Every structure is written in C-alpha cells, then in structure tokens.
Amino acid sequence: MVQVKVKKPNAVLFDIAGTVARESFVEKLLIPYFKVAYRVYLENNWSKPECAEAVKKLAEAAEKDSKAPKIQMGSSKKNNSQSSVSSSSMKSPSTTVSRNRKKDAIEQVCRYIQYCMDNEKETKAYAFFRFQVWFDGYDRNKLSTPVYSDVAITVQRWKNTKAIKLYILSNGWAEASRKFMSKTSHGDLNLVIDDHFDTSIGPLLNPETFTKVAAKIGQSLADVIFLTKSAEQGKAAKQAGMNVILVLTHGPAVDQALEICRDIPIARTFTDIEFV
C-alpha cells in the first residue's frame, strides 16, 4: 500500500547501509569474512602492487603506535639478512630463503592486524587493508551484498520505466559502495546507478553538501529526492532545499525520527513511495 506520494523527481539520492541493505550487513557479513580471509589474502596477493601498498601503510601505522607489534619493511641502513621484510620478500618467492622471508613478513602483518582487532584500532591503514580484503572477496565471488528485494525491484523500475537518475551518497568510501553494488543478491545494481558520492564532497550533516551534490549532477535541489534512514541527514538535506523521505523499517526508528523532524514524510519501504 502506497504511503507517500510525491512529484516525480529527476534524480534520487540514497545511501546503502540501512537504506538499500540491512545496516548490520557490515558487522554480520563483512567483518566475519575479513577475520577468516585476511591471511589468505596476504598469501595469495603478496606480490601484487595493491597488497604491497596496503602492507606499507600498515607498517607506517604500526611505527606510529608505541604499543603495536612492528612490521619491518627493511631500509637502506639494514642489509637483507638483518631485515625481516626485505625487497625480495615483497616479490614472488623463488627460493627457500625468499619463501621464509615472505612467511615471516606475513606473520608480522597478521600480528599487527590481530592487534588492531583486539584493541579496536580503526586506523586509516587498517581500514584501507580491510577494504582490499573485501574487494578481493567480491572479485572472487566470495561476497555479495544482501540488498532488500523491494529496493532492487523499485530502483530498476525508477530507472528503466521512469528515466530517473539514481545516485549513492554514502558516509563510507565511494569506491567501496561501487564494489558493494557491483555484486548483490539481485545482480549488478551499478547498471542502474549513475554515480557514487561520499563525504569527500562534504559531511552529510551539512546542508551545503547537498547543494554541492545537486550542482555536481546538474540538477536543481527541488528536482532531487534524498532517501535516507537518518533523520539528521534528512534534516540537513531539507534545509538545503532538497526533497526528503525517511525510509524506516522499524517502529522505534520512526518514533526517534519524529522527535527530530516531524515535517519529513516517512516510508517503511521503497515500494511505499509513488512518484506522480
């Protein structure tokens, strides 16, 4: 049953976690996968540039933390026999020595990763590495994003039958949201999504951010609808002049949202929204 009727927009803006997919999919799917996959990722990708870059960032982060186990990357001041991780260990192993160096290096990285997990250290380097492991999982069909069925069906209808442009605006990393949408329980939704934005364009609690997004996609604020689970973000978008609908599945969330903003319509699902 349709609960919200609004004028058909030229573009719809929405987030992933909590709006397109359950907010818990990160904690219940991605984090558990990372815990069992990061060592295998290192072993399988050690010689690849993206893995080497991630390890370098981890080593630098470990150096800045006095309590963290270190990742010895080697330097010009040390010879290869002194360094646990020499340049040869960053390449595909061809000898017993290089294989042992690779094994030792991976152990050092794993100890630092375990330290980050045990102590809830959310460094940029750790987050970057975690994304690399997740991206690899998506590329190898080990992971897919469990999107809501009504969302997948509805956004494809909006795109294909109503010619509405669709954009993701996320608190996360735009590159991550692209990957998350590339393999979902309903196929590649990037086929209907025109672009992805993140907080590099501005914080989502700042009305100016929504003005920037509208300008970036070539639309007036009045011709864009922002679908979100966040009453605070919805309030910011509305202050900028953008149309907003809160998409809230659970009753308690509705009650909390009403305490923040009573002038924004609320839908339980995407199918509750009708463009006229």
pLDDT score, position 74: 56
Mean pLDDT lowest for which of 30-44, 66-80, 122-136? 66-80
For 257, half-sphere exposure in the C-beta direction (CA atoms, 13 angstrom radius) is: 24
Q: Which tokens is 186 given?
A: 């309903």
Question: Given CA atoms 57, 63, 64, 68 in this order, what sign does their dihedral have?
Answer: positive
Q: Per residue in 165-224, pLDDT tens?
A: 999 999 889 999 999 999 999 999 999 999 999 999 999 999 999 999 999 999 999 999
Q: How many C-beta atoms lie closer than 10 Å to residue 21's C-beta? A: 22
State yes or no: pLDDT of 130 exceeds 70.
yes
Distance CA 232, CA 252 (A): 16
Q: Average pLDDT over the chain, rounded to whole?
A: 89
Alpha-carbon distance values, 174 to 58, 169, 177, 180 (Å): 22, 8, 5, 10
State yes or no: pLDDT of 273 exceeds 60.
yes
Q: Per residue in 15-34, pLDDT tens?
A: 998 899 988 899 999 999 99
State yes or no: pLDDT of 257 exceeds 70.
no
pLDDT score, position 228: 93
pLDDT score, position 97: 64
Whether residue 171 contacts residue 14, with contact meaning beta carbons closer than 8 Å, is answered with no
Helical spans, DSSP H, in the chain? 25, 31-45, 49-64, 96-118, 124-139, 149-162, 174-182, 207-216, 231-240, 251-260
State yes or no: pLDDT of 83 exceeds 60.
no
| Burial status of residue 171 (CB atoms within 10 A of its CB: 0-12, 13-18, 19 or more) | middle
Cα 44 from chain centroid? 23
pLDDT score, position 78: 40
CATH architecture for segment(s) 4-21+145-275: 3-Layer(aba) Sandwich (3.40)
Q: Considering the entire predicted model, what is its pTM?
A: 0.85
pLDDT score, position 100: 87
Q: pLDDT band at 262, cuts 50/70/90?
A: confident
Mean of pLDDT values over 154-161: 96
State yes or no: pLDDT of 84 exceeds 80.
no
What one-character-per-residue DSSP string does 164-181 give? -EEEEE-SS-HHHHHHHH
| Burial status of residue 65 (CB atoms within 10 A of its CB: 0-12, 13-18, 19 or more) | middle
Share of the chain above pLDDT 70, in %: 86
Phi first, then psi: what are they for 247, rounded to 5°?
A: -105, 105
pLDDT score, position 82: 37
Q: How many C-beta atoms lie closer than 10 Å to residue 2's C-beta? A: 10
Distance CA 188, CA 167 (A): 15
pLDDT score, position 73: 73
- Return residue ranges of the chain for CATH 3.40.50.1000: 4-21+145-275
Q: pLDDT band at 95, cuts 50/70/90?
A: low
- Return residue ranges of the chain for CATH 1.10.720: 28-139
Domain spanning 28-139: which CATH class is it, in words?
mainly alpha
Distance CA 208, CA 161 (A): 31
State yes or no: pLDDT of 101 exceeds 50.
yes
Cα 46 from chain centroid? 23
